[in-house]
Amino acid sequence: CIYIYIQLLSAFHHQLPPTSQSPPLSFLPSSEVETLVKMGQQHDHSLGNIIGGNELLEAQARAWNHTFNYMISMALKCIVDLGVPDAISKSPEQPVSLSNLAAAIPLHPSKNDALRRLMRPLTHAGFFTTTAVLAGGEEAEDHYSLTTAGKLLLRGGPQSPFIELFLDATTMTLWGMLSAWYLYSADAVPFEAGHDGASFWECMEKDPAQKKAFYETMVGDSKLVAGVLVSECREVFDGVESLVDVGGGTGTMAVAIARAFPKLNCTVFDLPHVVAGVKEKGGGDVENLHVVGGSMCDTCALLQWILHDWDDEGCLKILKCCREAVAGDEEKKKKKGKVIIVVLTPKINLT
């Protein structure tokens, strides 16, 4: 079984086209397919009918994909830690050869070939493109370029701090506790079960480094989302005279909106110690930007990446507060208000 897995994984990495959504069914030698089918015939006691070879292979490939997908996440964190995207971006050679890439990062000399293996699945995942280049009659050497997704991984980019925060060892350990949380814990979320009942926010206040990493993550993400929001969704702001960014953190989103709509009064709403210094950190020259700690009273409430942090009861409470604030201002100004929710949702196939 282990041997078949190794052969499948090797063939998958060598032969799967970058645009494919599922592994091909014909890349294995027929003898190995027959072996896999026989295994299924021996162990399939629950379905009643013997599963066909292709169907069994598809099912096994799907199971393996989801079993080993964490390797892609860990490889992604590794190349960010190593500074690979930045090395490619800064190199005068484009695309960058594997040997020059290895020389540009603090890599142990014995790991040059391992770097090639690290780059292969991430190229397949769409973060890099690769080109084999012949040089002076020698063997072809892989050369790498950044894709759009790869550029998001640059230091100072929107995705780099996100990866560092949510793929660190402490966070990943919590996922290993998930089944125990379902079986034995009365805590609201697995994080609390792993931190003696303390919430993420409570732990963050006690850990300055974690707190800094979290807000850097939110700033990076808000820069990306704000650019899309003000360029692709301008109609959302039609008729809006004032807006409050609820849980707006250090004001990145509100600053971008205020700059894009000079006549729109924007307010950053968050805990007082969070919004302290917003004007000094990037919004000092924006006249239509205001900062409020602890209150909310405007014609439009913006909720970006907020509601997913709470259970249904908490979300309803937040939305009711927004509705009351918006409705109160509607009554004063005789104008309709809005609640704008920015959230990432999975694409659902309803067919």
pLDDT of the residue at 315: 81
Residue-wise pLDDT for 292-339, tens only, equals: 776 544 555 667 767 777 778 878 887 887 777 777 655 555 666 777
pLDDT of the residue at 13: 46
pLDDT of the residue at 22: 41
SS3 334: coil
By C-alpha distance, which of 298, 283, 308, 305 is closest to 332? 298
Residue type for position 260 = A
pLDDT of the residue at 199: 85
pLDDT of the residue at 25: 42
Known catalytic residue: 308? yes
In this prediction, the residues of the chain whose per-residue pLDDT falls under 70 are 1-52, 135-138, 277, 279-285, 294-302, 305, 328-336, 346, 348-351
Pick the catalytic residue from 14, 143, 273, 308. 308
Put simply, whether the predicted model's pTM sits higher than 0.85 gets the answer: no
CA distance 22 to 324: 48
Q: Tell me how many degrees the CA angle 306-311-312 measures, rounded to the nearest 5.
A: 100
pLDDT of the residue at 24: 43
pLDDT of the residue at 242: 80
pLDDT of the residue at 250: 74
pLDDT of the residue at 15: 42
**Cβ burial 323-335 (10 Å sphere, 16+ → b, else e):** eebbeebeeeeee
pLDDT of the residue at 8: 44
Sketch out the chain's domains with CATH numbers. 2-68 (no CATH), 83-150 (1.10.10.10), 160-206 (no CATH), 238-342 (3.40.50.150)
* Bridge partners, 96 (sequence order): 144
Can you list the alpha helix ranges (DSSP code H) found in the chain? Answer: 2-15, 30-43, 53-68, 70-82, 84-90, 98-104, 112-124, 148-151, 160-166, 169-175, 178-184, 190-193, 200-206, 208-232, 252-260, 272-275, 312-333
Residue-wise pLDDT for 115-144, tens only, equals: 999 999 999 999 999 988 776 656 778 899
Sign of the Cα pseudo-torsion (189, 195, 196, 201, in order): negative
